[in-house]
Chains A and B, each alone.
Chain A
Amino acid sequence: MSGESTSTRGAATPARGADGAPRGGKRRLPSGPDSLLGILAKIILLGIVDAVAAYALFQLAVGEEWLVFAISLVVTVGINWIYLRKDGLPAKYLAPGVLFLLVFQVFVMFFSTYIAFTNYGDGHNSTKEDAISSIQLSALERVPDSPQYAATVVEDGDELLLLVTDPSGAVGLGGAEQPLEPVQSAQLDATGKAIGLDGYTTLQFGDILGRQGEVSSLVVPLTDNLDDGTLQTQDGSTAYVFKPRLTYDESADTFTHVGTGVVYSDSGEGTFRADDGSELGTGWKIHVGFENFAKAFGDDNLRGPLLQVVVWTFAFAFLSVITTFGLGLFLAIAFNRADLKGKRFYRILMILPYAFPAFLSGLVWSGLMNAEFGFINNAILGGANLPWLTDPILSKVSVLLVNLWLGYPYMFLVCTGALQSLPAEAEEAARMDGASAWMIFRAIKLPLLLVSLAPLLISSFAFNFNNFNVIYMLTGGGPRFSDTTFDIGHTDILITMVYKVAFGTGAGRDYGLASALAIIIFIVVGVISAISFRKTKALEEIN
């Protein structure tokens, strides 16, 4: 490759000369493999890449994220290798694309696949360690009616202690190792609060701030017996008497309720559970194997409506593509006439809906389609009372209409582009031969258009298959089915159903289930697209 690249360069210079381009200093400059500017650009850009990478690697090392560190390191070295060596032109072209593919596609896919096999969701949010510390945190309760102590943090050597004043003015001192003891000779401020003691350094607010973790985890036993409660402070100036409601036994990995003695042990499902089946609120993330997939297919309540939803999803995606393409193509042809005046103005009008966020237009249209107050019934249909959004059939029509409004500008744009790239000679020749406009369109233009547009139509199908916005914002999937307890309705497509099943029912969100369902949809869309793309090859053979 290296030899090839120099030889082509050698050929390049005479070619330039042959074209009659000015010969001059430029010709002598490229003595190395690249021009000076190129080398400079290479140094600067690679420098930026490496600087960013070095920063990221440093942060990862500090955070002890060794796996990500290793991956980032390999990627960085790889990039340097690709761009520093002389040959390997294809790699130079491909590297950024491949990287983006890895980050935005492959990583996301692997991550959702990973989530699909866990119980990640509300209540199973983080690691077991986090869950234990958060249960301990929320189980620590202030002893009812116990006094509120004014507190000062003092230091003896390295050890932190709390100097506390109870409401009666009695002063006590205690630390993690020594229970609270009364002290007599403390210095008091104007309010009677002890603020210092001989032999101890009083920590000022600024000092405390630097040692927040130590101060807030400082536990001062009231007596030798921990069960009598402990003094703790959360803000460095006020301390309260706390008693835990639950105690954690590290060796047995169990929580015990102090009052009732009920023992909560690891249930194997990411929660602490007692024998009577009650669970502690906060759980953690675990791997659950195929449980989420089983849930998706195994629920009797879900299977019936699921079929209806699947049928409607296909119908919706297919009809959306057909209607938007039909209207877009029609308008594109209509506005493609050479003798039309103000073409640009019309075209801008045409693509306005495309510039409108789909999310918003769903909401706006749901207002326009209100049965009693909506613009459509009142102004266009002269006061009709059509239930656009609440009748099972009309709501499907509404969804398609709004999606047509949203989608035709895109089709208009691509059709206009494709039309303008068609050879004018073909049309002229056909006209010479006496073909009608319709025949020219059907036999010449459409087949030629479809060759270039078919892939776009397929991707448009895939897009509409998952067109969450328009459904969710317009009808919310409603009107509801009456034969299921799930919140699923007549206009729900698979993706909105997934959203509702995973996030709308039960007590909390279930990212694991959502990921599992998303993977199933992904497979469905992938298979359909693969088949369609294979079919479109037949179209290309027309050429």
Chain B
Amino acid sequence: MTVQIRSGATRRAFTLSAVGASAAIALAACGGGSTEPAASSAPADGGASATITMWTDAERSPALKEIADKFEADKGIKVDLVVKDFAAVRDDFITQAPSGKGPDVLVAPHDWLGTLVQNGVVAPIQLGDKSAEFAESSVQAMTYDGQVYGVPYAIENVALVRNAELVGETHESFDDVVAAGQSVVDAGDAEYAFLLGLDPKQADPYHAYPLQTSFGAPVFEQGDDGSYDVSQLGMNNDGGQEFAQFLADNGDKGTRVFNSNITGDIAKEKFLAGESPYFLTGPWNVPAIEEAGIDFSVDALPSAGGEAAQPFVGVNGFLVSSYTKNELAANEFVVNYLSTEAAQDALFDQGGRPPALLASFEKAADDEVIKAFGEIGAEGVPMPAAPEMQAVWADWGATELSLIKGNESDPAAAWTKMSENIEAKFNG
């Protein structure tokens, strides 16, 4: 009996193990490729293929498909659109580009630039005379260390969205906004005077930034041309301390204008339910607000601290890999095709974000909402693209959260300590 089982088992084991072995070899080949990069995929230089690869996300892919098809029809170059999980794109690109496995072109927000340049994975492009056709702030955002690295296509920033049924008129200062909101609450028509979505772990320095700049506390010192001096933290000043006090005064233990329990999702939900006249948010929430049938208008956020309330401006654009073997095709596609009005129109139709190309923006600005966001963005400041920014977010957010929760007995001191921590990280 045992003998019989054994001879049967031999054959089965053999079949199984041979399948395993073939898989393992294939894996060994792939695994090997990742140790010593530049391995297999692309054929040796010279025989450039007529295909360029582009990394994008699911949302932008349909609009890009149209442009890619046109490009293929005109030039005979196929654009292979690879839909990636956007959260992983940056790191995947940094690790894969040097191995020759990265894409030729990718879609990216401008604040990745610093890290991408630091890792040497993106190549400068030349917009030439075309740069005048784009919103100035968008080209500025795509400029890092004096070089333009991308063709911008969309600009986004936060603004004050007002429920026009609850509050009819605009106001000149943040205090008036809150007062108007409060009177609606007192009248029993709403529950919250003002909504700002906060991350339960990190608060949200990005959304709160226009409030902070209105106190004269920019994250980094800015030169006249709008570029940041990342060695100089700008918010470690009196304005920053006043802003800290402002957050604490209006936080959980103060007026509760800012509520640490209201996350971005909850804020959106409450605004859609008509429970607040004001919501500080960006164009990405507009489709939902329209769908909810709310009569709304988009205003610039009035100043809280006396100076201009400048939101962060984020610019999305198209970048070219410095490791591409298809420099010409990639540049042709990015500089001469994705910068066209037709392309930017298509991207706007799909994403709803204000286009960076002025001609497309003018068309899109028939829509009052797009026009308002665009005009507010023109007064904003580009989000710093420097890698140093990564060292700022964690401390910045945690301190703001702590201030809003009312955990700091001395807000100014907490703010100063935060600034010192961040500066220590730059030097360490």
Q: Which A residues contact B (CB, under 8 angstroms)? A: 8-9, 11-12, 15-16, 34-35, 37-38, 41-42, 45-46, 48-49, 52-53, 56, 59-60, 62-63, 65, 67-68, 71-72, 75-76, 79, 83, 89, 92-93, 95-97, 99-100, 102-104, 107, 111, 122-123, 125-127, 130-131, 133-135, 137-138, 140-142, 148, 205-206, 208-213, 215-216, 234-238, 240, 245, 281-282, 366-367, 370-373, 389-390, 475-476, 478, 480, 485, 487, 500, 504-509
Q: Mark B1-36, 1 if CB is under 8 A from A, else 0.
A: 101101100110111111111101111110111011
Cβ-defined contact, A96 with B118, below 8 A: no
A16 to B6, CA, bound (A): 13
Question: Which of the segments B41-49, B176-184, B214-222, B340-348 contacts the partner chain?
Answer: B41-49
Cβ-defined contact, A508 with B17, below 8 A: no
Cβ-defined contact, A507 with B426, below 8 A: yes
Can you name 8 extra interface pairs (CB under 8 A) apart from A125-B94, A137-B123?
A38-B14, A41-B11, A42-B18, A62-B44, A65-B32, A282-B119, A370-B266, A373-B262
Contacts of B47 in A (CB 8 A): 210
Cβ-defined contact, B145 with A138, below 8 A: yes
Contacts of A206 in B (CB 8 A): 76
Contacts of A505 in B (CB 8 A): 391, 394, 425
Known A-B contacts A8-B7, A209-B329; A107 and B31 likewise in contact (beta carbons under 8 Å): yes
Cβ-defined contact, B21 with A126, below 8 A: no
Cβ-defined contact, B115 with A71, below 8 A: no
9 A–B contacts, CB within 8 A, in A order: A38-B11, A122-B118, A123-B387, A125-B121, A212-B328, A216-B328, A235-B328, A235-B335, A245-B146
- Total residues of chain B contacting the partner, CB 8 A: 97
Most buried by A among B117, B120, B395: B120
Contacts of B24 in A (CB 8 A): 96, 99-100, 103
A123 to B121, CA, bound (A): 10
Q: Which of A52, A56, A137 contacts B124 (CB 8 A)?
A: A137
Q: Which of B6, B15, B22, B259 contacts A52 (CB 8 A)?
A: B22
Q: How far is the CB of B4 from chain A (nearest CB, A)?
A: 5
Cβ-defined contact, B328 with A9, below 8 A: no
Contacts of A34 in B (CB 8 A): 11
Cβ-defined contact, B261 with A213, below 8 A: no
For B25, give the chain A residue with the smallest CB separation.
A53
Question: Which of the segments B54-62, B125-133, B243-251, B365-373 contacts the partner chain?
Answer: B125-133
Cβ-defined contact, B39 with A63, below 8 A: yes
Known A-B contacts A213-B46, A389-B200, A476-B202; A63 and B331 likewise in contact (beta carbons under 8 Å): no
Q: How far is the CB of A211 from chain B (nearest CB, A)?
A: 8
Contacts of A135 in B (CB 8 A): 120
Most buried by A among B1, B6, B98: B98
Judge if B416 is at the interface, Cβ distance under 8 Å: no
Contacts of B6 in A (CB 8 A): 8
Judge if B173 is at the interface, Cβ distance under 8 Å: no
A48 to B23, CA, bound (A): 10
The dominant DSSP class at the B interface is helix
Q: Which of A72, A133, A281 contacts B25 (CB 8 A)?
A: A72
- What 10 pairs between A and B have smallest CB-CB spacing? A96-B20, A134-B120, A56-B29, A45-B18, A68-B32, A372-B261, A59-B40, A99-B24, A126-B98, A476-B201
Cβ-defined contact, A209 with B40, below 8 A: no
A333 to B139, CA, bound (A): 67
Q: How far is the CB of B425 from chain A (nearest CB, A)?
A: 5
A485 to B399, CA, bound (A): 12
Q: Which of A9, A123, A234 contacts B119 (CB 8 A)?
A: A123
Judge if B327 is at the interface, Cβ distance under 8 Å: yes
Cβ-defined contact, A506 with B11, below 8 A: no
Q: How far is the CB of B88 from chain A (nearest CB, A)?
A: 13
Cβ-defined contact, B32 with A49, below 8 A: no
A506 to B394, CA, bound (A): 10
Contacts of A367 in B (CB 8 A): 263, 265
Contacts of A41 in B (CB 8 A): 11, 14-15, 18
Q: How far is the CB of A213 from chain B (nearest CB, A)?
A: 6
Q: How far is the CB of B421 from chain A (nearest CB, A)?
A: 4
Cβ-defined contact, B17 with A93, below 8 A: yes
Contacts of A65 in B (CB 8 A): 32-33, 36, 39
Cβ-defined contact, B31 with A370, below 8 A: no
Judge if B255 is at the interface, Cβ distance under 8 Å: no
Cβ-defined contact, A48 with B22, below 8 A: yes
A125 to B40, CA, bound (A): 20
Cβ-defined contact, B128 with A138, below 8 A: no
Cβ-defined contact, A134 with B17, below 8 A: no
A210 to B202, CA, bound (A): 51
For B126, give the chain A residue with the smallest CB separation.
A240
Cβ-defined contact, B405 with A507, below 8 A: no
Contacts of A35 in B (CB 8 A): 11
For B408, give the chain A residue with the smallest CB separation.
A482
For A142, give the chain B residue with the smallest CB separation.
B126
Cβ-defined contact, A67 with B36, below 8 A: yes
For B15, give the chain A residue with the smallest CB separation.
A41
Contacts of A107 in B (CB 8 A): 31, 35
Cβ-defined contact, A138 with B118, below 8 A: no
Cβ-defined contact, B118 with A506, below 8 A: no
Q: Which of A15, A75, A95 contacts B28 (CB 8 A)?
A: A75
A42 to B117, CA, bound (A): 52
A15 to B8, CA, bound (A): 13
Most buried by B among A56, A99, A390, A507: A507
Known A-B contacts A45-B19, A49-B21; A212 and B329 likewise in contact (beta carbons under 8 Å): yes
A282 to B388, CA, bound (A): 14
Cβ-defined contact, A62 with B266, below 8 A: no
Cβ-defined contact, B11 with A370, below 8 A: no
Q: How far is the CB of B150 from chain A (nearest CB, A)?
A: 13
For A509, give the chain B residue with the smallest CB separation.
B91
Judge if B65 is at the interface, Cβ distance under 8 Å: no
Judge if B325 is at the interface, Cβ distance under 8 Å: yes
For A245, give the chain B residue with the smallest CB separation.
B146
Judge if B424 is at the interface, Cβ distance under 8 Å: yes
Cβ-defined contact, B14 with A209, below 8 A: no
Cβ-defined contact, A236 with B146, below 8 A: no
A329 to B166, CA, bound (A): 56
Known A-B contacts A12-B7, A16-B4, A373-B261; A49 and B18 likewise in contact (beta carbons under 8 Å): yes
Cβ-defined contact, B120 with A126, below 8 A: yes
Cβ-defined contact, B325 with A212, below 8 A: yes
Q: Which of A89, A235, A476, A507 contacts B388 (CB 8 A)?
A: A507
Contacts of A11 in B (CB 8 A): 3
Q: How far is the CB of A149 from chain B (nearest CB, A)?
A: 9
Judge if B332 is at the interface, Cβ distance under 8 Å: yes
Cβ-defined contact, B125 with A234, below 8 A: yes
For B418, give the chain A residue with the smallest CB separation.
A485
Judge if B390 is at the interface, Cβ distance under 8 Å: yes
Q: How far is the CB of B74 from chain A (nearest CB, A)?
A: 9
Q: How far is the CB of B276 from chain A (nearest CB, A)?
A: 14
Cβ-defined contact, A60 with B29, below 8 A: yes
Q: How far is the CB of A217 from chain B (nearest CB, A)?
A: 9
Cβ-defined contact, A103 with B331, below 8 A: no
Cβ-defined contact, A507 with B120, below 8 A: no
Judge if B53 is at the interface, Cβ distance under 8 Å: no
A367 to B75, CA, bound (A): 51
For B265, give the chain A residue with the smallest CB separation.
A367
For A370, give the chain B residue with the smallest CB separation.
B261
For B17, give the chain A residue with the smallest CB separation.
A96
A125 to B90, CA, bound (A): 13
Contacts of A72 in B (CB 8 A): 25, 28-29, 32
A135 to B95, CA, bound (A): 18
Contacts of B129 in A (CB 8 A): 148
Cβ-defined contact, A238 with B32, below 8 A: no
Most buried by B among A60, A107, A209, A367: A209
Cβ-defined contact, A60 with B31, below 8 A: no
